[in-house]
Amino acid sequence: MKFGTKVIHAGLQPDPATGAVVTPIYQTSTYQQKAPGDHKGFEYSRTSNPTRKALEDNLAALENGKYGLCFGSGLAAVDAVLKLLKTGDEVISTNDLYGGSYRLFTQGFAQLGIKFTFVPMNNTIAIEEAITPNTKLIWVETPTNPMMNIIDVAAVATITKKRNILLAVDNTFATPFLQNPLGLGADIVMHSVTKYLAGHSDVIMGALICKDEDLAKRLYFIQKSSGAVCGPQDSFLALRGIKTLHLRMQRHCENGKIVATFLRTHPKVDKVYWPGFDDHPNHLIAKKQMRNYGGMISFSLNGNSKEDAFKLMSTFKIFTLAESLGGVESLTCHPATMTHASIPSKEREKLGIVDSLIRLSAGIEDVHDLIEDLDSALKSI
């Protein structure tokens, strides 16, 4: 099955009870048993729920995996991966990543005796040097949030496979429409379903997908034991959103390209970070492992003034100033004060998250309106 068919059909069947073509919202916490242990595969909705199961099977198919698990948020999915570890274990992570993941690592699991080392993941020597006998997990985000660096997943997988280290890839920015990390050698794919997958800025949800049965069993155990699952109504919304993922992603990519190209030629703009540019430092890796370059763009302003950045963002008429990304509507955010505030300012600056850095999520509106919005807001500063 091709991707555009899978989003609509994979893992989904007409409802066995009624023939309903659309997966119903099974708004139930529990299921009748004929005798203790004699049930139809569902016992209690923390463990499994038919609406959530349909979504989990659909996501597993989209990522060319075997097992899908959904959670109450993207961070709950990250949390479940980290619960595979124990005190004394070590994690090597991309140094440029979503601020909430960084906070969970450094202020959550580090307190429990798990050590985190952050390295620029395009430098395989830096990864090799950071590995110790206790390294159990490598955490990759690509494209990275917000600097749009691209990590060569296959190159990192060559390192992890040799040493029996788990490789998890946060595929939120790319989505399975643009890249499939399991095929590049990753063991676990993580998504903030909140973003492009659900796609309409109306759901908070996370997901994990893997191929290995033992790993899936360990993750299912964590999912049901910790209980950070999503509800049936949100599962329904995510399933509905995913049915148009391929169409939306096409438009996000087209609009992203036009927006990035416009910004690059603008005299008030300093740097534009978008992996589709030929001279993006990781463009060749992006070309190799992604099918297109997505709708996320970051840019900084000449003069690097925070006041100008704030003025610009509050002047926009269509780009809404808000956290999050990947919805049909265009959003903008100021990473240093919003999504990446938990990263110490010195670290942020080293990564390029400067005072005037602005992140855009190009939505699927008419691109002429997006360009006009950018143009008139840039004139105001």
| Among the residue ranges 43-51, 94-102, 249-257, 293-301, the one whose residues contact ligand P1T (CB under 6 A) | 94-102
- 175 is an interface residue for ligand P1T by CB under 6 A: no
Closer residue to ligand P1T, CB minimum distance, 232 or 294: 294
- 273 is an interface residue for ligand P1T by CB under 6 A: no
Closer residue to ligand P1T, CB minimum distance, 136 or 334: 334
Closer residue to ligand P1T, CB minimum distance, 155 or 338: 338
- CA–CA separation, 213 and 219 (whole Å): 10
- The SS3 call for residue 81 is helix
CA-wise closest residue to 304 among 379, 344, 357: 357
- CA–CA separation, 357 and 352 (whole Å): 8
Four-CA torsion 334, 339, 341, 345, nearest 10 degrees = -70
- CA–CA separation, 310 and 306 (whole Å): 6
| Among the residue ranges 95-103, 129-137, 287-295, 348-356, the one whose residues contact ligand P1T (CB under 6 A) | 95-103
Query: For residues 30-89, which are near ligand P1T according to CB under 6 A?
Result: 73-75
Phi, then psi, of 183 in degrees rounded to 5? -70, -15
Among 101, 235, 255, 282, binds ligand P1T (CB under 6 A): 101
- Minimum CB distance to ligand P1T, residue 345 (Å): 18
Closer residue to ligand P1T, CB minimum distance, 4 or 108: 108
- Minimum CB distance to ligand P1T, residue 381 (Å): 23
- 145 is an interface residue for ligand P1T by CB under 6 A: yes
Q: What kind and span of H or E run contains 55?
A: helix 50-62
DSSP state letter for 116: E
- CA–CA separation, 251 and 34 (whole Å): 50
Closer residue to ligand P1T, CB minimum distance, 54 or 78: 78
The question of whether 46 is a catalytic residue gets the answer yes
Q: Which residues pair with 140 in a beta bridge?
A: 169
Q: Edge-to-edge strands of the sheet including 166-170?
A: 67-71, 206-210, 188-192, 166-170, 135-141, 90-94, 115-119
Question: Which member of 31, 46, 240, 288 is catalytic?
Answer: 46
The answer to whether the bond into 146 is cis (omega within 30° of 0) is yes
Residue with tokens 């920015």: 173
Query: For residues 195-214, which are near ligand P1T according to CB under 6 A?
Result: 204, 206
Q: Which residue is nearest to ligand P1T (CB)?
A: 74
Distance from CA of residue 29 to its chain's centroid? 28
Among 63, 79, 90, 141, binds ligand P1T (CB under 6 A): 141
Q: Record the tokens describing residue 193, joined without a space.
A: 């379903």
The question of whether 52 is a catalytic residue gets the answer no
Closer residue to ligand P1T, CB minimum distance, 90 or 141: 141
| Among the residue ranges 97-105, 233-241, 310-318, 350-358, the one whose residues contact ligand P1T (CB under 6 A) | 97-105
Are 134 and 126 in contact, with CB atoms under 8 Å apart?
no
Query: For residues 298-337, which are near ligand P1T according to CB under 6 A?
Result: 323-325, 333
- Minimum CB distance to ligand P1T, residue 120 (Å): 17
The answer to whether the bond into 181 is cis (omega within 30° of 0) is no
- The SS3 call for residue 372 is helix
- Minimum CB distance to ligand P1T, residue 343 (Å): 12
- 192 is an interface residue for ligand P1T by CB under 6 A: yes
CA diameter of the chain: 73
Among 26, 98, 236, 273, binds ligand P1T (CB under 6 A): 98
The binding site for ligand P1T (CB under 6 A) comprises: 73-75, 98, 100-101, 141, 145, 170, 172-173, 192, 194, 204, 206, 323-325, 333, 339
Residues noted as catalytic: 46, 98, 170, 195
